[in-house]
């Protein structure tokens, strides 16, 4: 029988198994089922998460990773306490039980997905070259490409301040 230390196939199998098991261990906490209870800590999922009072007025706007203590979990709002003692409501869509920006490989697996989305959100708009080429190759019409460009252009022309003003005038 070949020694496992010198058998390349066995060494590869062990290496691959070890690597995947390692990834499994690191990713296990990802399956958050919104099981937070009163007294637990939760965190803002990304930047510009709003904490509101019961009249939906903004109490605070917090950044990614800001810690809250759960006063009462619920849908669609969690009642939370900020570190300065103020209490308010946060959209349950925008909190998570693990810190979004852990360091090291655990951070890669747990947090970078959100960070990648932030980068996408703050940056690139505009059609990919391939989508534009669809019309040139006869796979789509130029009108359809122009329509998506116009759709993106309208969306990009609206600032967050405009959205906030619009939302505040809802009645």
Partner 1 sequence: MTTKPFGRRWAALLMAGAVSAVTLACTSSQVGEAVRTGATAAGASEKEAAGYGAAAGNLVSATGSIDPATERALGDGVAVKIFDRLGPRLADEKVQEYVNLVGRSLTGNSSRAELPFAFGVVENDTVAAYAAPGGYIFITTGALALMENEAELAGVLGHEITHVNQRHMEPLYRTARLLDAAQFAAQASGDVSEEQLAKYSDLADQVTDAILNKGFGPAKEYEADQMGVELAAVSGYDPNGLADFLRKMQAMESHSGGWFSTHPPTSSRIGRLETHTTQVLGGMSGAQGRTRFQKVISGMKPSARAQQPARGAVTKPGESPAATQPGTPVQGGGARFMPRSNAVGQP
The CA–CA distances, whole Å, from 111 to 13, 62, 102, 134 equal 29, 17, 6, 35
> Which of the residues 125 through 144 are near partner 1 (CB under 8 A)?
125, 127-131, 133-135, 137-141, 143-144
* Contact string (CB under 8 A) for partner 1, positions 141-160, x = contact: x-xxx-xx-xxx-xxxxx-x
Q: What's the CA gap between 46 and 65, in Å, rounded?
A: 7
Find where tokens 């070890």 sit. Answer: 18
12: tokens are 């590869």
Residues 44-103 that bind partner 1 (CB under 8 A): 45-50, 56, 75-77, 91-94
Q: With binding defined as CB under 8 A, does residue 27 bind partner 1?
A: yes
Shortest distance (Å) from residue 42 CB to partner 1: 13
Binding piece for partner 1, criterion CB under 8 A, among 33-41, 65-73, 80-88, 122-130: 122-130
65 vs 92, beta carbon nearer partner 1: 92
Bridge partners, 61 (sequence order): 50
**Beta-strand relationship, 87-91 and 95-96:** unpaired
């Amino acid at each position: 029988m070949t020694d496992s230390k010198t058998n390349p196939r066995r060494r590869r199998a062990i290496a691959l198994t070890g690597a995947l098991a390692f990834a499994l261990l690191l990713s296990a906490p990802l399956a958050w089922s919104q099981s937070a209870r009163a007294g637990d800590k939760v965190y803002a999922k990304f930047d510009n998460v709003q904490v509101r009072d019961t009249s939906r007025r903004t109490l605070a706007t917090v950044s990614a990773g800001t810690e809250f203590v759960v006063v009462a979990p619920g849908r669609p709002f969690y009642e939370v306490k900020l570190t300065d003692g103020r209490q308010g409501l946060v959209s349950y869509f925008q909190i998570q039980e693990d810190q979004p920006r852990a360091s090291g490989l655990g951070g890669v697996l747990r947090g970078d997905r959100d960070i990648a989305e932030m980068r996408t959100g703050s940056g690139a708009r505009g059609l990919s070259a391939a989508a534009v080429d669809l019309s040139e190759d006869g796979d789509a019409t130029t009108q359809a490409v122009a329509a998506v460009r116009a759709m993106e252009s309208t969306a990009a022309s609206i600032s967050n301040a405009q959205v906030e003003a619009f939302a505040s005038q809802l009645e």
